[in-house]
């Protein structure tokens, strides 16, 4: 019953996400940590059971979500957290790379308008991060590449990649550039990050279903 199971997974993610956002806003750190333990596994469950076919794209996205899960709650230091999320971004990049011809990479003018502000932001954050400048710059670059390639998978995944990028910009500015300048920064970060991961997952499921439909229409292709 994969369809029923994926519906339950989506409901679990939505419920835990609401609790997490309330906990982040109220500053209930223990409850927020418990929610983070449950959130990405719910999306992994959704991705795995909701896929019309468990192909390369689905498997890699599940792996990326797994590393995001480690980054969410097992990243006890900033460097470790960056490390887990860097691996997640690399896996996302590998997953989305086959769709690059449909992405912003194939639209140079839009790509330039997208990338120039990102380079400025990543440079500013890296310059403000002291001894962590190199890993922050590498992670920022990988995140930007992921967000660009995500636009080739589906519209939902593209929006999700952009929200993921914005969520980490909020976190980086609050942590490195101007601590305390963003009110409720942890809440804002999660309010962007959770929809981002959900939209990436749903967009991937949408693309897998569309690919199967194309095969049915034209079985020779």
The model carries a pTM of: 0.91
pLDDT (0 to 100) of residue 215: 64
pLDDT in tens, 140-184: 999 999 999 999 999 999 999 999 999 999 998 888 888 888 899
Q: Which of 146, 52, 38 is nearest to 91 (CA)?
A: 146
pLDDT (0 to 100) of residue 218: 53
Q: How far apart are CA 133 and CA 125, in angstroms?
A: 8
For residue 1, the tally of other CB atoms under 10 A from its CB is: 8
Which parts of the chain sit beneath pLDDT 50? 1, 217, 219-221
């Amino acid at each position: 019953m994969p369809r029923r199971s994926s519906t339950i997974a989506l409901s679990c993610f939505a419920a835990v996400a609401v609790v997490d956002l309330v906990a982040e806003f109220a500053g209930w750190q223990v409850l927020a940590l418990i929610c983070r333990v449950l959130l990405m596994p719910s999306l992994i469950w959704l991705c795995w059971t909701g896929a019309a076919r468990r192909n390369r794209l689905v498997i890699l996205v599940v792996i990326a979500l797994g590393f995001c899960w480690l980054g969410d709650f097992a990243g006890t230091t900033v460097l470790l957290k960056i490390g887990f999320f860097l691996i997640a971004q690399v896996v996302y990049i590998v997953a989305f790379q086959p769709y690059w011809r449909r992405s912003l990479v194939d639209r140079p003018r839009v790509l330039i308008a997208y990338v120039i502000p990102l380079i400025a932001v990543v440079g500013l954050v890296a310059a403000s991060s002291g001894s962590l400048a190199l890993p922050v710059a590498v992670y920022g670059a990988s995140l930007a590449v992921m967000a660009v390639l995500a636009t080739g998978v589906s519209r939902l995944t593209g929006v999700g990649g952009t929200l993921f990028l914005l969520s980490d910009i909020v976190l980086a500015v609050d942590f490195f550039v101007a601590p305390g300048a963003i009110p409720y920064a942890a809440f804002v970060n999660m309010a962007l990050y959770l929809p981002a991961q959900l939209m990436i997952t749903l967009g991937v499921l949408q693309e897998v279903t569309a690919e199967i439909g194309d095969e049915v229409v034209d079985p020779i292709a």
